[in-house]
Every structure is written in C-alpha cells, then in structure tokens.
C-alpha cells in the first residue's frame, strides 16, 4: 500500500462489491447463508481480496465480548487418544476463527492450578473430559460455557455432553466373546473414578449376566503397563477354574495383560482370549494383534468443539452418541473344549 494511503474498511469493500456494509459483515463473518446469495457472497469475498481488506479482529472481539479462545482440559498430553481429540477439536476451532489452549489435569485426575490470571476473562468456553473434571473447579471452568466429554448426560457439569457409544462398544465385545463360546470372564478394570469406566463395568456385567452359566470376576489396575501386569498376574495365578476371556478397559491395560499371561506360561488366544478398547496404534504392534473397539478420537474432538460453538450461539447441540465398532483380530478365539 502506498505511503499515506489508509487501510481499506468494510465500507470500501461494500462500495466495491455494490452491497451494503451489513452484507459485508454477514459474508466475512460466515453468516451469509440464507441471507444473501452465493453470487453476492463471492463478489464480497473477491472485493475484500482485491482491496487487501483485513477485518480488525481485536475490535470485533472486544465489541462481542469474546476472546475467540477455548480451553480443552484432558487427563494427559501423552495419551494417543487425547492427542486425537485435540487434533479434531482444534481443526474445527480454527475453521471458525477460534484458538485452542490444551491443558492437562495433573496426574490425570485431581485439582489443578489456574493457568490464567482469570480464566473467565481469558476464555470463551471450555471442553473437558470427565476424567479431568476435578480440574474445572480450580480454573472456574464450570462457570464458563462448558461441554463435557465422556460424561453422564444426567449429571453433567456442562451445558452439553458429547459421548462415544461406549456402552454399545462393550456390548459388541461381550457378544463377540459369548458367540465364541466363552462363559468365564475376567474384567481388567481401570482403577479410575470416572463415568466412562463405570459404564464399561455395568454393561459387561449386564450383557454377560443375561446368559445362563456365565460369570464375571473383576480386578482393578491403574492405567499403566506395569499396573496391568501386576493385577493380571495376581488374578490369574492359581485361579481355578481359570477365566477363558479377559476383557480390558483399554488397550494399554491389554498390553500389560499380554506380558502377565506370557509370564504365567499361557498363550493368547489358545488359553485365554483378550480384548481391549480404543484401537490405539499399540493394538496392532502386539502379537497376536488385539481385538478391540475402535473409537474415533478426532471425530470426538470435532463434535466436542461443534457442541461448544452451538452453546456459544445459544443453540442446542446435535443429540446422539458417536457410534463405535469392534475390530476383530487374532487375540480372540473359541475356548478350549
């Protein structure tokens, strides 16, 4: 731009496109659909490009009382699943002109320090996993527009909840193992106080319990390879009769269970079938490859951000849980006669 020239304004764009300033605001704010024609929207966009127009986002945000920033609270940064959640949520945020701050709850669960001088002043809203819900009190995230992931819709802190259909995933696992002929089950449960893990335990007990002659024992472990090894060894050593199917709350627990089973001199799936839940990269890195439930983490994050956008605009988010599906691999087989 030449010395002494002024920065183009929305009025300049309106004049160049032959439309009103209100139409320019609608088009450049991506709220034109149903209000102006596609041809008009294209004319406005081209005029803005030709003039080198850039909206003053700082002034716009101040006028709207928004920072265009949201917070994603997760249990850990090192988990492949939550990395996928962040990727999906950040993609939708960027498409709508929002920035996203990722914040892990210390130790996966428990209270956290406020990362902002004032979260309420710095943020427009929060998306949080139920596993990290305790962190919300410290940052006053429960006083902001809030969407909860993996949370009980009946008792959620948030204005909206977004869930994967975990209950159906567990039913798919149970149905698969029952159809193979398994009747004695061991549940390697995550030792984490969270709604999503309560759902897994409840659904497994209900589905298996509906078939005569079945049993389910439960052993708990922290979500770690070492914790799963210890818990599985303790549960299987000397068990009589030994369970023929081991249902793990996630793939990391299943990987630890593999180590324990082999230390006991048993074979997968000949002596015991094993299932996981998540379908992490780990599931195909172990041998035999793991039968598990595939969860679309990126879609989960996308839906979470879309729900928050709806809340911010005063609309009800789209209802319904996100479907999941069982991926059958080499870790499951009929039990020995």
The CATH number of whichever domain residue 104 belongs to comes to 3.40.50.2300
HSE at residue 248, side-chain half, CA atoms within 13 A, is 33
Structural domain span for residue 263: 166-294
CA–CA separation, 208 vs 183, rounded Å? Answer: 8
Query: To the nearest 10°, the Cα dihedral for 328, 330, 334, 337?
Result: -170
238 half-sphere exposure, CB direction, 13 A CA radius: 1
Residues 184 and 153 both lie in one domain: no
**Are 290 and 135 in contact, with CB atoms under 8 Å apart?**
no
Answer yes or no: do 232 and 196 share one domain.
yes
User: Both 271 and 206 in a single domain?
Assistant: yes
Structural domain includes residue 330:
no
Task: Name the phi and psi angles at 56, rounded to 5.
Answer: -80, 90
Mean pLDDT of 320-333: 97
Domain identity same for 220 and 273: yes
Within-domain flag for 5: no
Highest mean pLDDT among 42-51, 148-157, 270-279: 270-279
- pLDDT (tens digit per residue) in 234-246: 999 988 999 999 9
Q: What is the mean pLDDT of the chain?
A: 87
Question: DSSP assignment of 306-317, as one string?
Answer: HHHHHHHTT-PP
pLDDT in tens, 158-205: 788 999 999 999 999 999 999 999 999 999 999 988 899 999 999 999
Question: 148 and 171: one domain?
Answer: no
Neighbours of 314 (CB within 10 A): 6
- Same domain as 212, residue 301: no
Burial class (CB in 10 A: 0-12, 13-18, 19+), 116: middle
Q: Within a domain: residue 130?
A: yes
pLDDT of residue 57: 45
Range with the poorest average pLDDT among 31-40, 112-121, 252-261: 112-121
């Amino acid at each position: 731009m030449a010395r002494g020239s002024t920065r183009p304004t929305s009025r300049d764009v309106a004049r160049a496109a032959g439309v009103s300033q209100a139409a320019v605001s609608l088009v450049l704010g991506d709220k034109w659909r149903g209000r102006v024609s596609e041809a008009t929207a294209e004319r406005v966009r081209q005029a803005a490009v030709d003039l080198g127009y850039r909206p003053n986002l700082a002034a716009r945000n101040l006028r709207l009382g928004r920072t265009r920033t949201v917070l994603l609270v997760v249990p850990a940064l090192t988990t492949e699943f939550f990395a996928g959640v962040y990727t999906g949520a950040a993609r939708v945020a960027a498409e709508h002109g929002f920035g996203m701050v990722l914040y892990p709850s210390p130790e996966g669960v428990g209270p956290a320090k406020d990362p902002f001088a004032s979260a309420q002043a710095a943020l427009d809203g929060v998306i949080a996993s139920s596993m990290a819900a305790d962190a919300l009190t410290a940052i006053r995230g429960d006083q902001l527009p809030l969407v909860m992931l993996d949370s009980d819709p009946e008792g959620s802190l948030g204005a909206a909840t977004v869930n994967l259909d975990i209950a159906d995933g567990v039913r798919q696992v149970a149905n698969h193992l029952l159809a193979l002929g398994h009747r004695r089950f061991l549940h390697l449960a995550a030792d984490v106080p969270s709604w999503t893990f309560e759902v897994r335990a409840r659904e497994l007990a209900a589905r298996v319990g509906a078939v005569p002659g079945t049993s389910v024992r439960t052993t708990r472990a922290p979500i770690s390879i070492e914790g799963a090894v210890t818990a599985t060894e303790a549960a299987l050593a000397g068990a009589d009769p030994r369970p023929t199917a081991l249902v793990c709350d996630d793939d990391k627990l299943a990987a630890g269970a593999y180590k324990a089973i082999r230390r006991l001199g048993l074979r997968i799936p000949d002596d015991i079938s094993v299932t996981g839940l998540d379908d992490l990269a780990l599931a195909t890195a172990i041998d035999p490859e793991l039968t598990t439930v595939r969860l679309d983490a990126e879609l989960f994050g996308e839906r979470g951000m879309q729900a928050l956008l709806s809340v911010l605009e005063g609309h009800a988010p789209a209802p319904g849980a996100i479907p999941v599906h069982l991926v059958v691999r080499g870790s499951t087989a009929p039990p020995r006669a």
